[in-house]
Amino acid sequence: MPRSVFPPDSCVVAEVVPSPNHGERKDERQPDMILLHYTGMPDANAALERLTSRLSQVSSHYLVFEDGRIVQLVQESRRAWHAGTSVWAGEGDINSCSIGIEIANPGHDFGYPNFPARQIAAVTALCRSILTRHSITPERVLAHSDVAPGRKQDPGEKFPWRTLHDSGIGHWVKPAPISESGPLLTLGDRGEGVTALQNSLRAYGYGLAATGTYDSETHDVVAAFQRHFRPQRVDGLADASTCRTLHDLLAQRGRPRNIAARAKAFALLAAS
């Protein structure tokens, strides 16, 4: 049977190409997150085919081509299948609370080119349109790598989060300068400084237990944080720049009663 074409949710959509891969949002949830991906395939049309193939069992709400063309695949009211196994702020069913946007880019496995300006302008317009229909706070405009740091790198360190923030989309602070004096915390480290780092990352939303050991999971989460908020160097090492940037993000959005605790956490990190 032919798939029924639905009216687009946004005036910035150029075409509707329905995907069969969607379902009901759990507990009739309304979207309160935007999740950005890259397609990770050399050809955008092949990515569109995959996102609309019943056999693939994957989809997103939107696909943004390199030239800025926006195609809608799933209605915003429906649960698209784009996040996979993922966690944010203690919640595991990210598909039920999010709107997924795939951005055509070959990704790290195929050369990872820069995102064209026209494409980013289209992503910005689409996000602004979504924000007019849904209550989404800045810190819930996220990368796939934020919610699945052990599995995903997209949309990656070349994605211009600051450009979106300058248009009123997402959370951002100026990254603290990188010092060449060496990392503060790295794989195998243990102690209060590691616990403070893990607690701070968890307070921001990352799915990370405070074990007090800088393990591979902590390394992956730090790398995901860097890809989004300190993209100048992505190495998974908690240097002073990474820790200060995390502290500043938490302080900017945090309740006043939490600022002293976060300052103490950063002091522990700096002393490590």
In sequence order, which residues have a C-beta less than 8 Å from that of residue 166 and are 6 or more positions away?
none
| Beta sheet of 70-72, edge-to-edge order | 15-16, 70-72, 62-64, 98-103, 33-38, 141-143
Cis peptide leading into 18, omega within 30 of 0?
no
Catalytic residue among 15, 24, 102, 157: 102
Residue positions counted in the chain: 272
Cα angle vertex 228, ends 151, 267, to 5°? 105
Instruction: Decide: helix, strand or coil at residue 46.
Output: helix
In sequence order, which residues have a C-beta less than 8 Å from that of residue 214 and are 6 or more positions away?
185, 186, 187, 188, 189, 190, 194, 197, 238
Q: In angstroms, rounded to a whole number, what is the distance separating the alpha carbons of residues 180 and 197? A: 20
- Let me know if 102 is a catalytic residue: yes
Lookup result for tokens 């009739």: 28
Instruction: Cite the active site residues.
Output: 102
